[in-house]
Chain A
Amino acid sequence: MSNWKLICKLEDIPQLGSRVVHWPERGKVAVFRSSDDEVFAMHDKCPHKGGPLSQGIVHGKRVTCPLHGWNIGLDDGKAVAPDVGGCKTFEVKVENGEVFMAA
């Protein structure tokens, strides 16, 4: 994973919010920022019915899908029990206030 792609500035993503990256081979990827400025990325598609996770409410290290309220862990992409399912996550890092995603 040496190939990092610059996505945006950290400040472009609101705290407890997200932005969507359109990545041709991956489809839509939601990039989230937590309250302590950690950044996470995963498919913008809830494992339940495909809801846009990027539009959900972010809290702690979780996002709540706007459609049916499933909670998805931002770090592992897994649905929080008792729901079962998962989302593909992508590696991201923040350096000098800029967000990079592993290509």
Chain B
Amino acid sequence: MSKPRLVLIGNGMAGVRTVEELLKIKPDHYDITIFGAEPHPNYNRILLSPVLAGEMTISEIVLNELEWYKEKGIKLHTGKQIKTIDRAKRKVIAEDGTEEEYDRLLIATGSTPFMLPIPGNDLPGVIGYRDIKDTDEMIEAAKLHKHAVVIGGGLLGLEAANGLKLRGMDVTVVHLGPWLLERQLDEVAAKMLQKSLEDKGLKFLLQKQTEMLVQGESGRVAAVRFKDGMTIPADLVVMAAGIRPNYALAESSGIYCNRGIVVNDTMQTYDPKVYAVGECVTHRGIAYGLVAPLFEQAKVAANHLAGYGIGRYTGSVTSTKLKVTGIDLFSAGDYMGGEGTEEIVLNDPYGGVYKKLVIKDNKLVGGVMYGDTADGPWYFQLLKDGRDIHDIRDQLIFGQSLVGDVGHAGNSKAASMPDSAEVCGCNGITKGVIVQAIKAKGLFTLDEVKKHTKAASSCGSCAGLVEQILASTIGGAYTPAASDKKPVCGCTEQSHKAVREAILNQHLITKEAVFKALEWKTPNGCDKCRPAVNYYLISTWPHEAKDDPQSRFINERSHANIQKDGTYSVVPRMWGGLTTPNELRAIADAAEKYNVPTVKSPAASVSTCSVSRRKTCPASGLTSTRPAWSQAMPTASRFAP
């Protein structure tokens, strides 16, 4: 019997991500066909700005090479735009006549730049900023022309302006709003940003309404005229005044749309055979234009396409970062505040640092940071977790390191660490190696980084730090899972908490029962989940559950610590650092019996023999050379007669 057919319209980040997620959880379920309007394999659109700025090349931002499609058995049609979806016959038809039938259809047509409806918006030299073609056109224009005007002072507009400036053009940013990035920043932060961009040589015209684009003698655009009569020269005009979801195709095939393809919490459209993800959809009335929510949507859609039916998408809180080298900017959630909220503000205009945190009912609901954004991911995590910040409120603004909430959450100096700094002590992985892997291999999640670099894959204590490096490297593309929802490992979707609750509530006493009840994807787990499950079982049902030695890490199984060379170290227990001569002798005898070459005493237990009387201790000469010894003296004197 042949496999059901899945057709994906849109070879972009959201669509292909869904396919990747699908292949991960249910490979070989579908015959997959992908249509892409652009003549390229799937690439990381977010990184077009570094490409424009000359910091990366197109080949560096490709996410899946053509070989990947071949390897996965995916039929790829590049450069083919779909003209019609025939839902009655369940097939799609491309402009060149190519037809594909489907059993499930996934629409991920993304969005297009919004072109202002003004005279001259179709002149040569007037472009949006969306894809490789636009980027190439800007790079070409920068070689031949002088004056560039970017309409729109949003994230994309500023990144475009910065790139064009770096390519040698004279750039003016025109913005209708009262300050830049009004959807991400409050006025104070925006003014600081504007100042530093002006220092880089960009020019700004705020609260200016564009009236028309003037054609020059060559036929190309030559100037921009404003409503107030002012005119500035322009050989290149980049429209970055927002995006519009691409839903015309879906709408023409009769799928219900409302400023985007309307989907439910399972990413299904009004046609149950048709799913949609990405910028082209409207979910609960919101269309997202950032990558993080798209990835969350992809995961949910993949799960439903695989037929598992677990998981709902319930909307996202988003954070943004501006990808302009040398400028640190972070904003998340409700950054403006207002009625019913309180604000904590740190403002140091001279030092170039501004932080604002918005708090509601003792919880962080939003924030803006400029200059020092190292704590951005931490604030964002607090925000997503909805953690009560009552107890750390007085120090919150100074960041994570001052609050002292480090350890597994990591220390948030990730961005300022040098590349040579070691991050993962277990596996000897430096920050440079991690950043390199993230960039070269296009990694987006902590799990991917763990797999490729091994950082944080052993003891896991550096996971927080690795996550922050990930966040600072890929910026807005990073999606932290809420801490209490992270799955235990790749074998399951369940979090540690969910597993413990199931063991308790369903009275599970064997690991097999746990794997069955919680639908583990692997027959007997892996080295991550089995030790955890074993521990939860014996700690929850101590008299009923049996300890499984094969689920324990070697150190626990043999009560010894494995070393680099495969030998073991043994640490005899000495309660409170005290022992008796007999026990000490027993240790020596055992060491001799097993040819142990060295017995090491860690610093804390140097005072081991202080129980002897001072007068009779032949080694009292050590007193002056060993501080640890002299500290132990009060104990010794207590024993003296």
* Interface positions of A (Cβ within 8 A of B): 14-17, 35-36, 49-52, 55-60, 62, 64, 66-69, 71, 82
Residues of chain B lying within 8 A (CB to CB) of residue A69? 454, 457-458, 527
When the two chains form the complex, which single residue of B451, B524, B525, B527 contacts A56, counting CB atoms closer than 8 Å?
A: B527
Residues of chain B lying within 8 A (CB to CB) of residue A71? 527
- Structural contact, A67 and B564, CB atoms closer than 8 A: yes
Residues of chain A lying within 8 A (CB to CB) of residue B522? 59-60
A101→B527 CA distance, assembly (Å)? 27
Residues of chain A lying within 8 A (CB to CB) of residue B523? 35-36, 59-60
B566 contacts partner chain A, Cβ-Cβ < 8 Å: yes
Closest 3 A/B residue pairs (Cβ): A64-B527, A57-B527, A16-B550
- Structural contact, B564 and A17, CB atoms closer than 8 A: no
Beyond the given A35-B524, A58-B550, A69-B454, please list 16 additional residue pairs across the A-B interface where CB-CB is below 8 A.
A16-B551, A35-B523, A51-B562, A57-B526, A57-B527, A57-B550, A59-B523, A60-B523, A64-B526, A66-B555, A67-B564, A67-B566, A69-B457, A69-B527, A71-B527, A82-B452
B554 contacts partner chain A, Cβ-Cβ < 8 Å: yes
Q: In the complex, what residue of chain B is closest to A44 when comparing beta carbons? A: B566
Residues of chain B lying within 8 A (CB to CB) of residue A56? 527, 554
* Dominant secondary structure of chain A at its interface with chain B: loop
- Structural contact, A66 and B427, CB atoms closer than 8 A: no
A60→B489 CA distance, assembly (Å)? 15
Question: What's the nearest-Cβ distance from chain A to residue B523, in Å?
Answer: 6
- Structural contact, B457 and A15, CB atoms closer than 8 A: no
A14→B553 CA distance, assembly (Å)? 15
B299 contacts partner chain A, Cβ-Cβ < 8 Å: no
A14→B551 CA distance, assembly (Å)? 12
A49→B530 CA distance, assembly (Å)? 24
- Structural contact, A57 and B454, CB atoms closer than 8 A: no
Question: What's the nearest-Cβ distance from chain A to residue B234, in Å?
Answer: 48
Type the 1/0 row for B258-292, where 1 means its CB is closer than 8 Å to any CB of A. Answer: 00000000000000000000000000000000000
A29→B228 CA distance, assembly (Å)? 84
B79 contacts partner chain A, Cβ-Cβ < 8 Å: no
B627 contacts partner chain A, Cβ-Cβ < 8 Å: no
Residues of chain A lying within 8 A (CB to CB) of residue B558? 55
Residues of chain B lying within 8 A (CB to CB) of residue A68? 426-427, 454, 457-458
Residues of chain A lying within 8 A (CB to CB) of residue B525? 59
- Structural contact, B550 and A15, CB atoms closer than 8 A: yes
B549 contacts partner chain A, Cβ-Cβ < 8 Å: yes
A14→B525 CA distance, assembly (Å)? 17
Interface residues of B in 523-559 (CB under 8 A from A): 523-527, 530-531, 549-551, 553-555, 557-558
* Dominant secondary structure of chain B at its interface with chain A: loop
- Structural contact, B524 and A59, CB atoms closer than 8 A: yes
Given contacts A55-B554, A66-B553, A68-B426, contact A49 B524 (CB under 8 A): no
A66→B523 CA distance, assembly (Å)? 21
A90→B554 CA distance, assembly (Å)? 24
A35→B557 CA distance, assembly (Å)? 19
- Structural contact, A14 and B564, CB atoms closer than 8 A: no
Residues of chain A lying within 8 A (CB to CB) of residue B427? 68
Question: What's the nearest-Cβ distance from chain A to residue B572, in Å?
Answer: 21
Identify which of A56, A57, A82 gathers the most chain B CB atoms within 10 Å of its CB.
A57
When the two chains form the complex, which single residue of A15, A50, A59, A82 contacts B530, counting CB atoms closer than 8 Å?
A: A59
Residues of chain B lying within 8 A (CB to CB) of residue A51? 562, 566
A41→B457 CA distance, assembly (Å)? 26
Q: In the complex, what residue of chain B is closest to A57 when comparing beta carbons? A: B527
Residues of chain A lying within 8 A (CB to CB) of residue B549? 14, 17
- Structural contact, B550 and A14, CB atoms closer than 8 A: yes
A66→B530 CA distance, assembly (Å)? 14
A19→B372 CA distance, assembly (Å)? 55
Interface residues of B in 446-467 (CB under 8 A from A): 451-452, 454, 457-458
Residues of chain A lying within 8 A (CB to CB) of residue B426? 68
Residues of chain B lying within 8 A (CB to CB) of residue A67? 562, 564, 566
Residues of chain B lying within 8 A (CB to CB) of residue A55? 554, 557-558, 562
Residues of chain B lying within 8 A (CB to CB) of residue A58? 550
Question: What's the nearest-Cβ distance from chain A to residue B430, in Å?
Answer: 15
A60→B520 CA distance, assembly (Å)? 12
A36→B554 CA distance, assembly (Å)? 22
A16→B523 CA distance, assembly (Å)? 11
Question: What's the nearest-Cβ distance from chain B to residue A64, in Å?
Answer: 4
A49→B553 CA distance, assembly (Å)? 18
Residues of chain B lying within 8 A (CB to CB) of residue A64? 526-527
Question: What's the nearest-Cβ distance from chain B to residue A37, in Å?
Answer: 13
Question: What's the nearest-Cβ distance from chain A to residue B65, in Å?
Answer: 15
- Structural contact, A52 and B566, CB atoms closer than 8 A: yes
For this complex, 11 residue pairs linking A to B, each with C-beta atoms less than 8 Å apart, are A14-B549, A15-B550, A52-B562, A55-B554, A57-B526, A57-B527, A60-B523, A66-B555, A67-B564, A68-B457, A82-B451
When the two chains form the complex, which single residue of B451, B553, B566 contacts A57, counting CB atoms closer than 8 Å?
A: B553
- Structural contact, A17 and B554, CB atoms closer than 8 A: no
Q: In the complex, what residue of chain B is closest to A62 when comparing beta carbons? A: B526
Question: What's the nearest-Cβ distance from chain A to residue B12, in Å?
Answer: 25
Given contacts A59-B524, A69-B527, contact A49 B551 (CB under 8 A): no
